[in-house]
Structure 1
């Protein structure tokens, strides 16, 4: 199968089969031919779909027995643990013992790694920051690199390592570029745009056959946390639709911040489950919230919170995704599939949480329905953009005598005073999922 589909060396085909890979996975079927042809590729797929094996196979296939000892392949990974996984896969599939692999990471001293590079390296596997540091010390030769691989690129973005990736890529001459990630989002696209040349994007969505019974889920993709809070306020202002809602945040500090924001609009209709401060409207148990008709919103901090009975709650909102996907799945699992009143789960995520969504979908065997953001939603500006605008506002601007400036009567309304809470009947129907709560 491998020999029929791809132009792989016979020794490599034998190694792949002996390692237990009898047939190529979907991502290998869709990408290996393009990689062998020299094309830049972006491979997107869930954990375990075969991304690492794909580029390990294509990397080994590039080398003949006459390895030169000068780096021809640079593989960037987010951390030391991932580097060890990659090395293990090379050891498993590589029978060309003349190949030399050198790893660069924080687990070993810089001087020792520079000595290893000086002794000769055909493949370098590194974290972006350590590779950049050694390159600047003139210890990493990139002149003959012909393949740059960025693995777990979404994690690299999460760690804020975009700049060293771009600098290393720009320091390499003409080369092929492969990027593998669980998700593709704006921040990741911004990182790879400077060096990818007409890439093809291959995405695979492997879901298990067995599905976990879940409440209907709607996913709202927003740019930042401030917009999450605006969206929550927008929804909660509609007391006709959102009669009882439990909102999950990851920390007590976030829960208290959200509480104060909601209290400005819905006043005493919001409460926190077991807050640290008595100044908040508190609820000691979920049963209190269910029984109190004056309460519409209960905010729960995931930290130090035991299992909570969410049965008969019309709306469950995750403002943050828990670090442990099992916590989310427990919240949203449908324990009574025959219930007449069905709960709707709304999840708010930013770019950096999309990989957690993929893991949840893979575990549950179900995709979350992507929802459009309401037109009335106020998109919060990024903090850096706000700071830049503040600095620009401090600089004196010469007045244009020919330009008419409106007076105080024309001042723009503040977001909190704007009327942003009237939903169309069609949008309400979507949220209701054709069921009354």
Structure 2
């Protein structure tokens, strides 16, 4: 079934066509028709499967063709809750692209920026509000935000919401919403805690689960290479320089590690962008935009930012550090192989990270392919970096010494 066969407004079909989408993905095919019927949906789908559009398309359709076409100051009709600012901005882009030409007004409400312009925007009228919990509750407590007319609630990336401790915020928002509403609950992973939360929010939901036994996208070829911790920077440098067409997203565990890796790359002449939670929102937005536009070919990021990076042409994900939580591995590698593109992910595993690797394999239910490095290759990589960064004088001295040895 093609998108032009769906009962959607012409404006929405035109927007879908401009985005180059012809047929729905599995999660879109299974979710859209149920959401259009007003049913509650619990959707479990891995990253890169088109999950956002699975609820964005029908939500925009319902609001665009609904009876309440006249916006009111308290007339927010759909609330989309997300755990991070990056995700909010990502969803804002998807919703805005799909809603072009419709009556639907979308706004992303996040922290890290001045609130007065946000309040003014809310007063002008918003149909779909995409919000992170912190700023949303700030404005609710100030009386600057009303949710009494919301009849569609979307919880996206519910697993990360729980990991970040937002479960009380999720439950707390229910007191601000009408009881009779449509609830859409989406998550990339599923466990008992998520199930328990979901079934307290949705009523007789349509449950949709895509590839639950294989959380890694089929578009991603992922493997592991065993490297000493102190040598990882040399392998990252060599891979970058020997693959000039590659666009790399490199993940580390902490903000400090992100800064250190970025500086290590700068010392060998590689410009890399950095992305972590301690940066201001403006700086984070600029870094993402620069990476998206190709200003540089490498970004070094922490897990907090992982799910908000939706850049279609990332060719490689490098797990420079293994994640502390095994489900974060799924979200990291899902940043490549987006849509119908192919992607490659490499994990640099140090001896003290083997337990984390085994946890990932247990979580995914698959044994990650090992890339074998012989001793010569390993030494060549360390030598590659050392030679590549020698001054001209040092290179001349080394050449003279080599010539003397030959004589």
TM-score, normalised by the number of residues in structure 2: 0.53
Counterpart position of 1:3: 4
Q: Kindly tell me: are residues 33 and 329 of structure 1, through their superposed partners in 2, closer, same or farther at Cα, counting changes over 3 Å?
A: farther
Q: 1:362 to 1:50 in 2, by over 3 A?
A: farther
Map of 1:85 onto structure 2: 90
Instruction: Name which of structure 1's ranges 30-39 and 92-101 shifts more when overlaid on structure 2.
Output: 92-101
**Aligned twin of 2:63:** 63
Q: Which of 347, 358, 361 is equivalent to 1:347?
A: 358
Choose which of 89, 102, 107 in structure 1 pairs with 2:112: 107
Name the larger-Rg structure. Answer: 1
Is 1:184 the counterpart of 2:185? The answer is no
Runs of at least 4 residues off by over 4 Å: 209-215, 318-332, 343-346, 360-364
CA 1:362–1:132 in structure 2 vs 1: closer, same or farther (change >3 Å)? farther
Counterpart position of 2:232: none
The corresponding residue for 1:208 is: 218
Does the 8 Å contact 1:2/1:24 carry over to 2? Answer: yes
Matches within 5 A, 1:235-384: 321=326, 328=347, 347-348=358-359, 357=363
* Conserved 8 A contact 2:152-2:181: yes
Displacement of 1:117: 1.3
Contact 2:222 2:346 (C-alpha < 8 Å) held by counterparts: no
What secondary structure, in the 3-state scheme, does the structure 1 residue paired with 2:89 have? Answer: helix
- 1:73 is the counterpart of 2:78: yes
Write the distance in 2 (CA, Å) between the matches of 1:106 and 1:361. 38
Could you list the per-position Cα deviations for residues 145-173 of structure 1 after superposition, in whole angstroms to 9, with x for gaps in the alignment? 11001111111111111111111134211
Matched, 1:41 2:44: no
How many Å separate the matches in 2 of 1:327 and 1:209? 14
Aligned 8 A contact 1:67 1:122 in 2? no
Query: Following superposition of structure 1 onto structure 2, how do residues 116-127 of structure 1 map, counting pairs within 5 Å?
Result: 116-127=121-132
Secondary structure in structure 2 of the residue aligned to 1:48? coil
Question: 1:355-405, CA deviations, whole angstroms, 9 ceiling, x for partnerless residues?
Answer: xx55x96997xxxxxxxxxxxxxxxxxxxxxxxxxxxxxxxxxxxxxxxxx
TM-score between the two structures when normalised by the length of structure 1: 0.50
| Structure 2, gaps ≥5 residues long | 226-252, 255-322, 334-344, 370-407
Aligned-partner SS, 2:154: strand
Say if 2:3 and 2:24, in contact at 8 Å, map to a contact too.
yes
Q: Paired residue for 1:17?
A: 17
Deviation at 1:127, TM superposition (A): 0.4
- Work out the number of aligned pairs and report it: 249
Describe the SS at the equivalent of 2:49.
Answer: coil
Question: What residue number does 1:158 align with?
Answer: 163
> Once superposed, what is the RMSD of the aligned Cα atoms?
3.7
Mark the CA change 1:111 to 1:2 in structure 2 (over 3 Å): closer, same or farther.
same
8 A Cα contact 1:71 1:142, kept in partner? yes
The DSSP-based 3-state class of the residue aligned with 2:358 is strand
C-alpha change, 1:67 and 1:90, in structure 2 (3 Å) is: farther
Q: Which moved more, 1:322-331 or 1:154-163?
A: 322-331
Question: Equivalents in 2 of 1:213, 1:80: separation in Å?
Answer: 30
Deviations 1:53-77 (A, max 9, x none): 1111112101237342410000111
CA spacing shift, 1:213–1:108, aligned 2, 3 Å: closer
Distance of 1:102 and 1:213 partners within structure 2: 39
TM superposition shift of 1:122: 1.0
Structure 1 residue 196 and structure 2 residue 202: aligned? yes
- Taking the aligned partners of 2:60 and 2:357, their CA distance within structure 1 comes to 45
Q: Secondary structure at the match of 2:61?
A: helix
Equivalent residues of 1:319, 1:348 under 8 A apart: no
Residue 133 of structure 1 pairs with residue 149 of structure 2: no
Alpha carbons of 1:362 and 1:196: their partners in 2 closer, same or farther (altered >3 Å)? farther
SS at match of 1:194: helix
CA distance in 1, matches of 2:115, 2:52: 26
Higher helix share: 2
